[in-house]
Amino acid sequence: MIVVTGGAGFIGSQLVAGLNRVGREDILVVDDLKDGKKFENLVLNKIADYIDKADFRRLIAERNNVFDDIEYVFHQGACSTTTEWDGQYMMDNNYTYSKELLHFCLERSIPFVYASSASVYGVNTEFAEEPENESPVNVYGYSKLLFDNYVRKFCADINTQVVGLRYFNVFGSRESHKKGMASVVYHFNNQINETNELKLFEGSHGYADGEQLRDFVFVDDVVNVNLWMMEHKDVTGIFNVGTGKTNSFNDVARQVIDWHKNGAISYIPFPESLKGSYQSFTQANLVKLRSVGCDYEFTSLDKGVNSYLDELNAKNSLT
């Protein structure tokens, strides 16, 4: 059995779909469905069972033999709200929970792949997976970095696969439940459908209006890197998952406008609340990922955005 935590979330549910595509349906999804609308992310997926996160944590703490048949764990479950400042909540969800599951897997020699984040780099301009480049600017990024460092400490001399994947700016289908944390592609599409106007931040951190740069990565690519890791159980370490290229928010907005064949861009003041805790530039360094043989070719921005918009607007036409 394969465990996918956060399996009803954005990346988790897409990972379940990816596992289905390679013939795996023996999947245990772990999640918290207080937001019942997230069921929509799973309804087309084929799984063996579902368990609430609280029950799952209790059972692994008890070392219950109900999980004796677990062969692989994809730990995607986390609080991914970068603007959440409840540190106690964030650390329990992203750090303590991850430690619990890591030790459960280490004791049983179960391969463990987990979601880290490019937020660990903060406002640095170098994005190689090295401590000198890591200085998060919010408690979300800190929770992710603290667990990465815990893995570095406890997994130096192990035989079990342990992999951390630092996701950059992921976009794609099944993210609508994330609301404010959904990708700019999702928000730009909604804005153009509702008002025909895309709202971008004015210039900040030395960048002109809308020219802040991010590494935007299509969710299908993130899924495929996870599946590559499952196929290469000899690989262990912490790796960036991004395209290795940058695009501005203006680039993304123009791509959305091109798809719709209409729309205009306007600029809004940069929020005071984000000053000092905003990444104006991200770009994955892929040297380490390539060094272990993962030569996966990432989807271009235009191809990924067009594919996503095709799906989003096909759904909109049915509602």
The verdict on whether 178 is a catalytic residue reads yes
- How many CB atoms sit inside 10 A of residue 107's CB? 11
The C-alpha atoms of residue 192 and residue 257 are separated, in whole angstroms, by 8
Q: Are 11 and 170 in contact (CB under 8 A)?
A: yes
Query: Which amino acid makes up residue 45?
Result: N
The verdict on whether 53 is a catalytic residue reads no
- Indicate the Cα dihedral angle 269, 142, 12, 96, nearest 10°: -140
- Give the closest residue to 50 by CA, choosing from 116, 41, 165: 41
Catalytic residue among 95, 121, 140, 167: 140
Range 273-302 burial, b when 16+ CB lie within 10 A, else e: ebeebbbbbbbbbbebbeebebeeebbebe
- How many CB atoms sit inside 10 A of residue 258's CB? 14
Instruction: Specify the DSSP class assigned to residue 152.
Output: H
Alpha helices in the chain (DSSP H): 10-21, 53-61, 87-91, 97-108, 139-154, 184-194, 219-231, 249-260, 287-291, 301-318
Half-sphere exposure in the Cβ direction for 208 (13 Å, CA): 3
Catalytic residue among 50, 89, 99, 178: 178
- Give the closest residue to 166 by CA, choosing from 110, 96, 98, 242: 242
The C-alpha atoms of residue 214 and residue 217 are separated, in whole angstroms, by 9
Tell me which residues are annotated as active site: 140, 178
